[in-house]
Amino acid sequence: MARPIWGKAVAYALPKIEEASLKGKRVLLRADLNVTFQPGTTEIADDSRINAIVPTVDLLRAKGARIVLCSHLGRPKGKVVADMRIEPVRARLSAMMGIDVTYAGGPVGAETLNAVNGLQDGDVAMLENLRFDPGEEANSGEFSHSLASLADVYVNDAFGASHRSHASIVGVAEVLPACAGLLMRSEIAALERAVGSDERPAVVVLGGAKVADKLGVVENLAPAADAVLVGGGMISAMLASQGHNVGSVDLSAEELRAAASLLDNAEISKKLRLPIDVVVAGEFSANSTSIEVSVDAIPKLGYVLDIGRKTATEFVGIISSAKKVIWNGPMGLFEWPMFAKGTEEVASAIASNVDAFKLAGGGSTVEAINALGISDKLTHVSTGGGASLEYLEGKTLPGISALMRG
C-alpha cells in the first residue's frame, strides 16, 4: 500500500503551535472556511468547518497572538464576486466565539496592512476571500510575500485545502516560520491510522458518483482491507462492467475502464462487495416511483439510486464485525428520502460499532452524517474532502510537505 513520502507519524513531527513563542506576534492563520450556503442565498447551510477552527483560534488567543485569519470561498477565479465575499463567514465565527472578528479587507494591500498592524494581543481579524486575487491559485511569489508581510508566523490549519499548491498554502510557508494547527494535526493523525494501522477486519465503504474518482483510493486501500463495500453512483459502472443491464444511465468510457480495471485486478476484485439488489427509479426525480430488484433484473429504463434491502443487510453484517471502517460516499441519492434507506442503514451500522476505529470523509458523506446526527459516534469526521481522498490514495499533499520543510 502506497504511503505519502513523509511516512508515518507526521502528525507528531509537524511544528506545533504549543511550542512556539507567539505573544505579541502577528500570526497568519490559514483555515479552510469554504462553507456551503442555502441555494440562492448567503445563509450558511453547514458551519462545521467554521466550528472546527475554533480550538486553534482559542489556543492562539490564549498565547497572546494577533491573529490574521484567511480562507478561500468558492471559485471566483481571481475576480471579486459579490456573493463570494467572506462576510457571512466572519459574522458566523464572531457569533460562534462571542468575540468581534474584525474585517481587514484585502486580501492584501496597504489598507489591510494598516488594519493588521492595529491588532492587539488576542485580537482576530479576517482577510477577504483569498481567491479574489489571481495570485492565490497561481502561487505567485508576489502574492505569497504580500500575505507574508502581514505576519511574523504562519499557521496552516487548512487541511481541506492542503492538496493545492496555492500561495496561502505553500508560498507563505516558504517565507515565514510555520506551524501546523490543531485541526491539521488531528486530520493527519486520523488518516495515518486509517491508512497505516493493522486493525482487522478492516472495511472500506465507498459510494459517490464516479468509480474513476475513487479508483486510486480502492487501489491503495484494498490490499490491506478485508472488504470494500460499493454503493452510490459507482454501482452502475461496476455492474455494467460485469455485463448487467443498468437502465437509462449514460456511462462514460472512462467510468467503464475504471470499473473494469478494478474487476480485472485479482487482488482487488476478491475484496469487492457489490450490491446483490438495488432500488431503481423510473425517472431521475425525488418523487419517482421505484422498485427493488435483483441486479440481474434491472429494467432497461430507469435509474439505480440506492442499494436494496438484502445488500444493506449484508453490508451491515460486514461493518458490525469490523475493527476499522473507512467511509467515503453515500450508498444512494440520500438527499431524496425515497433513496436514503441504504445510506441510513450503513451509517447506523458504522455508528453502532463501538469497538471500531471509524473515519468518514467527503462532502456528501459529511452532509449525510450531519443529517443523521451521528458525528459524535464516529472516531473522526474529516473536513478534508478532496484532500482526504488524495491522502487515502497515497499522494503527497503540498501543504503538509511545505510545513515539513520548515
Using a 10 angstrom Cβ sphere, with 0-12 exposed, 13-18 middle and 19 or more buried, the burial of residue 235 is buried
Sheet with 277-281: list strands edge to edge. Answer: 290-294, 277-281, 303-307
Encode 62-98: b = buried (16+ Cβ within 10 Å), e = exposed.
Answer: ebebbbbbbbbbeebeeeeeeebbbebbbebbbeebe
| Count of residues in the chain | 406
Which residues is 358 bridged to in the sheet? Answer: 325
Residue 78, all three cell numbers: 481571481
Could you give the residue numbers annotated as active site?
A: 49, 210, 363, 386
Encode 165-198: b = buried (16+ Cβ within 10 Å), e = exposed.
Answer: bbbbbbbbbbbbebbbbbbbbbbbebbbbbbeee
Inter-CA distances, 400 with 137, 301, 396, 404, Å: 17, 47, 8, 6
Residue 165 DSSP symbol? -
Residue 43, all three cell numbers: 445563509
Peptide bond into 201 cis (omega under 30): yes
